[in-house]
Amino acid sequence: MLLFQEGKIRNLTIKNRIALAPMGQPADIDGGFTQSNIDYLVERAKGGVGLIITGCTVCSDEYEPRPCNMHNNFHQNDRLGTLADQVHMYGSKLCLQLSPGIGRMSFIDPFTPPYSSSPVPSYAFPDLICREMPVEGIKKLVKAMGYSAQLAMRAGVDMVQVHAYGGYLIDQFTSAYWNKRTDEYGGSFENRTRFLREIIEEIRKMCGSRFPISVKLTIDSVDGPERPLEEGLAVAKMLDEMDVDLLHVGRGAYNCRWRMVSSVYQEPGFDIEAVKQIKKIVKNMPVMVHGKLDGANIAEKALAENAADFIAIGHGLLADPHWPNKTKNNRLDEIIPCIGCGECHYNAMNGKILSCAVTPTTGYEKEYALSPATENKRILVIGGGPGGMKAAITAAQRGFQVTLWEKNTYLGGEMTVAGAPRFKKDVASHVEYLVRQIYKHAIDLRLGFHAGIEDVTKFNPDFVVVATGAEPIMIKVPGYDKAHVTLAEDVLLHKKNIGNQVVVVGGGLVGCETAVELSMQGHDVTIIEMMDGILKTASHFVANDQNLRYLVQQSGLKILSSAKLTEIMDDAILYEKDGQLQKVSCDSVVFAVGFRSNQDLYNQIKNAGFESVVIGDNIQPGKILDAIHQGYHSIRVL
C-alpha cells in the first residue's frame, strides 16, 4: 500500500505517509506538556503513526492569555525532550505545531479586547472590538516563534509546523477580509503575508537550513468571505517559492466549522477534490491533507490520485490509536470506528481534556488502563445498547464470566436507531464493531429476553449492570393513538410504513435527523417545534450543529417553531401559534420529542441485595459518550 511507503520531508524520512493531525490538549501549569499529553501522543506512535504532530503550541502569552500549550522556556524542554525520545522509540517522528496566537478567536477572556491584525469584532465575544497588534508586538512574536522553534529542535523535535490556519492570528494577517492595516503589514498581498514570511525566515535563521518547516494553511473558507480560493492558492504558491518543506492544507472557517472540522454528516475524504487544485500549483513541497480519511481505501485513493503526499488523521486516531498497525496487518475488523460525534472537540473547547466518546482511555492512556480480574465474578449485563455492550466487553477483557441479556432480537439499542439515517454511517459502523466484539469474546448472549427481578434472582449474579435505556415519549394529545401516528425510531428502523405528507413532532436532534432522512426519501415533511427554533436543547459540537442545520436547509422541509401540537386528526394536525389555532395536512405523524428513563428494574435489583450499577440512558437520557464511558468504568473500577 502507498500508505506504508516511506515519505521524505526535506532531509527527514517518515516511515509511512500517516500523520496524527494536530489536536489540542490541556497544558501543564507553565504551559508545557503534561505526562498525560506525553502518554497520549506516544500511544499513537506505538500504534504505527509515522509523524506525530502536537496540538497548537503558542510561543508567547504577552499579548493574550495562553489558550493551549506554550513553549517559550528552557525549563519546558525536559518534558518535550521526553516526548521526542519516546516517540522516536517507535520509529515515528515528532512535529511541534507553533503559533504566535489566536487573536480575534480568543475564547478565554470576555472582558479584554484581544489583539488582531486590525480593529475587527472578536469571534467569541462580538461586542469586543479587537486591538490592532502594534508593529513592536509583531516583531516580538516573530522573534518568539524563532526561539520556540530552536528550543524544540534542541529538545529533539524533528520539525515544526507554523499554524497559519483556521482564522487564527496569522490567518487574520494574510486575509484581506480581516486585515485593514495601512502599514507594512497590511494592504497588498506582499504586506499581508509579511508576518508569515518573517516567521518562516526567523525559524530558518534560528534552526538552520536543514531543519524542516511545515505550514498549516486554510486554502479557502468555502461558505464564508474570510478566504477566497484565489487568495489561498496565492499563499500556497508563495510558500512553495520560499522552500517550505511541507504544506498541510484544510478548508473552512468558524462560521462554517463543519467545513473545517469533520462532522458525522460528512462523506469521507470531503476535501480531496479541492486540495487537488493545490497540487497543480505547488511544485516543490509535499502536501498533506486531512478530513475524514480514516478509511484505508479513501486514504489510499488520495495518495494514488496524487491529491496528497501525506495523510493526516485526527478523530480516527482518537478512536483507535493503533489504526495504522491494524490497517497494515489487514486487521480492519478490529479498528475502532470514529462515530463523528465531535465530543473530542466539544470537550476541549470547554476546557476539559481531549477525550473520545467511543474510547474512554483516550487522554487517559495509563490512568484508565484495565487490570486483570482478581476474582472469578459472574457479571450480568441487562441491556445490549452501547453502554451495555461496552460493559460486557470490558468485563470479558478483564477475565470475568459475562452474561448479556437484551430484550430486542438485535444489539445496539438507541445507537442502532441513531445510525439508521443514510448520513449517519459512522454510527452504524461502530454498532457493527461492538457487535463483533460481543461475539469475539466469551460472552453468554441471550437476545429477545425481557428480564425481570425473578430472572435476576434465579441467575444469582455477583454484579449487575443495568443498561436498559430509556423509552421514547409520545405526547398524549387527542388522536395520539391513531394508526398513522408512530415513533421516530420505528420509522428509522423501517418497522412502520408512512405516507407522503409527514409531520415530525419535535425539532431536536432526533426530530431533525428523522425529518431530513424522510425528505431525502422524497416525503413532504414539516417539523413542528414548541421552542422558537430547532436544535435548541442539543448539546453537541458546533460543526455537527452547523452541518445538520445545513442539511435541514438543503432538504427543503418546512419548520413551524413556537408551535404547540393540540390534536391529531385523520388527515391533519392542529397546532397553536401566536394564540391562533392552525392546521397542517398530513397522512403520517412521527413523534421525536425525547425519552424517559425507567429505573424500576434497577431499584428492584438493588433492593434485592445484589451489587449493581445503573448506566447510560437508564440514569437519564444522554449521549453515546455517557453510555460507553459509564459502561467501561463500571467494570474498570470493579
pLDDT in tens, 60-86: 999 999 999 999 999 999 999 999 999
Count other Cβ atoms within 10 Å, centred on residue 115.
Answer: 23
Burial bucket for residue 280 (CB in 10 Å: 0-12, 13-18, 19+): exposed
- CA dist 626 → 284, 470, 541, 632 (Å): 47, 13, 15, 10
Say what the pTM is.
0.95
In the predicted structure, residue 488 carries a pLDDT above the cut 90 = yes
Give the three-class secondary structure for 539: coil
User: What are the pLDDT digits (tens) for 325-352?
Assistant: 999 999 999 999 999 999 998 888 777 8
All three cell numbers of 222, joined, read 468555502
Count other Cβ atoms within 10 Å, centred on residue 375.
Answer: 8
Place of cell 429505573: 599
CA angle 282, 284, 289 (to 5 degrees): 55
All structural domains of the chain: 2-349 (3.20.20.70), 378-472+596-636 (3.40.50.720), 485-593 (3.50.50.60)
User: What are the pLDDT digits (tens) for 422-477?
Assistant: 999 999 999 999 999 999 999 999 999 999 999 999 999 999 999 999 999 999 99
All three cell numbers of 591, joined, read 413523534
In the predicted structure, residue 575 carries a pLDDT above the cut 90 = yes
Burial bucket for residue 151 (CB in 10 Å: 0-12, 13-18, 19+): buried
160 within 8 A of 214, measured Cβ to Cβ: yes
Residue 26: pLDDT band with limits 50, 70, 90: confident
User: What are the pLDDT digits (tens) for 577-610?
Assistant: 999 999 999 999 999 999 999 999 999 999 999 9
Q: What is the pLDDT of residue 224?
A: 83
In the predicted structure, residue 275 carries a pLDDT above the cut 90 = no
Q: Please state, in angstroms and rounded to a whole number, the distance separating the CA atoms of residues 573 and 425.
A: 33
- What's the average model confidence in pLDDT over 230-250? 97
533 within 8 A of 507, measured Cβ to Cβ: yes
Q: What is the pLDDT of residue 625?
A: 96
110 within 8 A of 126, measured Cβ to Cβ: no
312 within 8 A of 331, measured Cβ to Cβ: no
Per-residue 3-state assignment (H helix, E strand, C coil) for 93-135: EEEEEEECCCHHHCCCCCCCCCEECCCCECCCCCCCECEECCH
In this prediction, what percent of the chain has a pLDDT beyond 90?
Answer: 93
Crossing angle between the packed helical segments 425-440 and 386-398, to the nearest 10 degrees: 30
- What's the average model confidence in pLDDT over 291-300? 94
Following DSSP, what letter does each residue of 261-329 receive, concatenated?
S--TTSPTTTTHHHHHHHHHH-SSS-EEE-SS--SHHHHHHHHHTTS-SEEEESHHHHH-TTHHHHHHT
Mean pLDDT of the chain: 96
Residue type at position 31: G
Q: SS3 breakdown of the chain: % helix, strand, coil, rounded to 5? A: 35, 20, 45
- Determine the longest span between alpha carbons in the chain, in angstroms: 82
Strand partners for 52: 20, 94
Q: In what order do the strands lie in the sheet with 580-585?
A: 564-568, 572-577, 580-585
Count other Cβ atoms within 10 Å, centred on residue 119.
Answer: 13
Q: What is the pLDDT of residue 256?
A: 86
Residues 6+ apart with CB under 8 A from 373: 398, 399, 400
Strand partners for 245: none
Residue type at position 575: Y
Dihedral, 191, 140, 55, 8 alpha carbons, nearest 10: 60
All three cell numbers of 398, joined, read 478483564
Q: Could you tell me how far CA 155 lies from the centroid of its own chain?
A: 30
In the predicted structure, residue 137 carries a pLDDT above the cut 90 = yes
Number of H helices, E strands in the chain: 21, 29
Catalytic residues: 168
Residue 154 parent element (H or E)? helix 135-155
**If we measure between CA atoms, which residue out of 543, 546, 589, 542 comes closest to residue 565?**
589
In the predicted structure, residue 23 carries a pLDDT above the cut 90 = yes
Place of cell 454498532: 431
User: What are the pLDDT digits (tens) for 340-390?
Assistant: 999 998 888 777 888 999 999 999 999 999 999 999 999 999 999 999 999
Label residues 157-186 b or e (16+ Cβ within 10 Å = b).
Answer: bbbbbbbbbbbbbbbbbbbbbbbebeeebb
**If we measure between CA atoms, which residue out of 162, 63, 137 comes closest to residue 106?**
63
